[in-house]
Amino acid sequence: MTLISIILYLMYTALVLTLLVRLSSFIAATALLGIPLLFVLILPDQSVTFMSYQHAVLGDGLIPINNLHILLFIWSAMLAVILYTEFITWYLGRGKGEDVSTESAEAGAHEADEPAADDMAGSDELGEADEAPGAEEIGVDDAPGFPEEPVIGDEGGFPEDFGMDEESELGDSDGFPG
């Protein structure tokens, strides 16, 4: 029975991964959950016997490892893979610089003389019509007063006359009078 379980679970996992790669994640998730549920509905006695077959016992007989536990492990692993591929597909599929204002402008959601809905909400981005010809987009770090490189140590903005690096006028070089 152990060899039959291994073969069935390997075929089941290979089928789900093939569906995921070749067709779609929705079909793979449907097959992942649907195949065992269909077997339980169609062949209830044989399915219960198969799922309750005990492979091992851990913890001095307290923790049995049945086919049901292996099925739950496969379900959790495959669902994680399916969700991960969906997230990566979504992340890589969204275009760089894609935002709501360009989509609504392309769709003709508003006319040229009316302000866009996101402009009324206080958007920081300028539309193509708002930019002056030849104007550069200024980022936060490009504003006047920001250093080009972060400064570390004593060069971090303390004024020279702060008195920490020079000898004190009141006494010796430790800064205390006396």
Query: Model confidence over 118-167: pLDDT tens digits?
Result: 555 555 555 555 555 555 555 555 555 555 655 555 455 555 555 555 55
| CB within 8 Å of 159: residues ≥ 6 apart | none
Task: Output the pTM of the full model.
Answer: 0.50
> Residue 43: its pLDDT value, please?
93
Whole-angstrom distance, CA of residue 122 vs CA of residue 150: 30
> Residue 1: its pLDDT value, please?
80
**Neighbouring-strand partners of residue 63:** 58
> Residue 75: its pLDDT value, please?
93
> Residue 18: its pLDDT value, please?
95
Whole-angstrom distance, CA of residue 107 vs CA of residue 139: 28
Whole-angstrom distance, CA of residue 155 vs CA of residue 157: 6
- Look at residues 73, 53, 65 and name the one whose alpha carbon lies nearest to residue 13: 73
Q: Give the residue extent of every domain in the chain.
A: 2-93
Task: Give, as one character, the DSSP assignment of residue 15.
Answer: H
Whole-angstrom distance, CA of residue 79 vs CA of residue 29: 7
Lookup: tokens for 153 = 């140590």
Low-confidence ranges of the chain (pLDDT < 50): 100, 109-110, 154
3-state secondary structure of 55: strand
Lookup: tokens for 7 = 């073969």
- For the chain, first and last CA: distance in Å? 92
